Amino acid sequence: MSMEKSYAVFGLGRYGRAVAKELVANGAEVMAVDIDEDIVNDAIDEIPFCKCADVTDPEVIKRLGIANVDVVIITMGTNLEASVMATMLCKEIGVKTVIAKCATEMNYRILDKIGADKVVFPESESGIRLAKNLLSSGFIDIVELSKDVSMMEIEVRTEWVGKSLMELDLRKKYSINVVAIIKDENVTTNIEPTEPLDKSMRLIVIANTSKLSKLK
């Protein structure tokens, strides 16, 4: 899996801890931060780089070096004020991707308006699934169909452009099955195996979860 990006997780409740643990388990560089010292001490065995700090304080954000982090996941969904402040501070210092968990539709609109790059509802996107999406460079989305099988949407790679699915033989090379093609927001399941792929297409594929690393 791609480990080029670094991550920070603000808030170590159930959702935040699940995100951080999944990222760490896959070898990613993760900084986890929570204002509650007891929570930090409880999580440190599973998430080695844990800090007890107030991420709504601009000086703390600078001191932690958050400007050098690629992706910040803010999981303090029940504390809108803290989520808003942390999101704004991260965007102000230039964090490229800020993902914020929200509790209500109103919170969603507020976090989206102040600059969060993605806002998630924990009921519809689990922490583990979010972490897997973040780790899966080139995967637009992942849905677990079972413990062993996932369905995902992937972009057409540069080296695939101009070649057909028959030529590429993705099933043999990557252990994936293409079940649909998206082009111009139209989805077709009637796939022509000899049609050349182009960069504007996206592929819906089904794969064995253990084989996903072949696509990296």
CB atoms near residue 124 (< 10 Å): 7
- Each residue's pLDDT tens digit in the chain (216 positions)? 344 789 999 999 988 999 999 899 888 999 999 999 999 999 999 999 999 999 999 999 999 999 999 999 999 878 888 999 999 999 999 999 999 998 888 888 889 888 899 888 775 556 766 776 666 655 555 555 566 777 777 888 889 999 999 999 988 888 888 888 888 877 788 888 999 999 888 888 887 767 666 665
Q: Find out whether 187 and 180 touch, Cβ atoms under 8 Å.
A: yes
- Answer yes or no: CATH 3.90.580.10 is held by domain 139-215: no
- Spatial strand order of the sheet with 186-188 comes to 139-144, 149-155, 202-208, 176-183, 186-188
Q: Domain spans of the chain?
A: 6-135, 139-215
Q: How far is CA 34 from CA 39, 42, 66, in A?
A: 7, 11, 14
Report d(CA 87, CA 81) in Å as an integer. 10
Q: How far is CA 32 from the centre of its chain?
A: 16
Structure tokens belonging to residue 51:
């800090």
State the sign of the Cα–Cα–Cα–Cα dihedral 180, 184, 122, 56. Answer: positive
Report d(CA 117, CA 88) in Å as an integer. 11
Q: Find out whether 55 and 168 touch, Cβ atoms under 8 Å.
A: no
In CATH, the architecture of 6-135 is 3-Layer(aba) Sandwich (3.40)
